[in-house]
Chains A and B, each alone.
Chain A
């Protein structure tokens, strides 16, 4: 089955620790994205990547880092510099067509809780 997988589903972290959230897609999509969702709010973009070995900051990139070494994978690291990391994290991918006729499809998400 084609789709986007995220792991783990739930993640607990102690303050001061870095953690990495996994996102994998087998849709052959060029573009991948990371969003954060807080209670009562819509999603906000953390980072996105349009092509392997390239990525761009979104609206709330501080305290996060990413890599894009393979087309299928776009891991997100939540560093100790992120002041309030407890949230629901959603990964998305899209074909990355030029001109904007591009629809993003989402993975099932990871719930991160800082203890």
Chain B
């Protein structure tokens, strides 16, 4: 079975500091897409960042960046200069093109920002 594992159910970080959320996945495919979604208390899922597996360069979006290690099947999210608005559940997910259309999600990491 293809799975996504987020081994940190909860994390906390001091405001303005940096935090890294871990994610590992298991797929036999070589072509896939990886995502981090944020779910704040409103419960709407918001796309944070996306990475194509065929790209070696790590994706970045402002304060958010990833460390993509394809051989290790690892896809961690780094949040720099943490802000109170970053407090949320963070979900890692992947999608395999030309197979089915679903996103396969991990169980999430709850991030708390300490003022």
* Distance in angstroms between the alpha carbons of A78 and B96 in the assembled complex: 28
Question: A1-41, CB under 8 A of B: which get 1 and which 0?
Answer: 00000000000000000000000000000010101000011
A90 within 8 A of B: yes
Q: Are B107 and A41 in contact (CB under 8 A)?
A: yes
Q: Which residues of chain B are within 8 angstroms of A90 by Cβ–Cβ distance?
A: 45
Q: Which residues of chain A are within 8 angstroms of B98 by Cβ–Cβ distance?
A: 98-100
Q: Pick the most buried of B4, B37, B98, B102: most chain A CB atoms within 10 A of its CB.
A: B102
Asked, given contacts A106-B45, A108-B42, A108-B43, whether A33 binds B101 with beta carbons under 8 Å apart, the answer is yes
- A: interface residue count bin: 20 to 34
Q: Are A40 and B107 in contact (CB under 8 A)?
A: yes
Give the residue name and chain of the A residue nearest to B97 (CB). A100
B78 within 8 A of A: no
B81 within 8 A of A: no
Q: Are B101 and A109 in contact (CB under 8 A)?
A: no
User: Which of A31, A42, A98 meets B93, CB within 8 Å?
Assistant: A42
User: Which of A31, A59, A105 meets B47, CB within 8 Å?
Assistant: A105
B68 within 8 A of A: no
Which residues from 31 to 62 on chain A have a C-beta closer than 8 Å to any C-beta of chain B? 31, 33, 35, 40-45, 48, 50, 56, 58-59
Chain A residues at the B interface, C-beta cutoff of 8 Å: 31, 33, 35, 40-45, 48, 50, 56, 58-59, 88, 90, 92, 98-109
- In the assembled complex, 13 residue pairs joining A and B whose CB atoms fall closer than 8 Å, in A order, are A31-B101, A42-B107, A43-B91, A44-B105, A59-B102, A92-B45, A98-B98, A100-B33, A101-B52, A102-B95, A102-B97, A108-B43, A108-B44
Chain B residues at the A interface, C-beta cutoff of 8 Å: 4, 31-33, 35, 37, 42-47, 50, 52, 91, 93, 95-98, 100-108
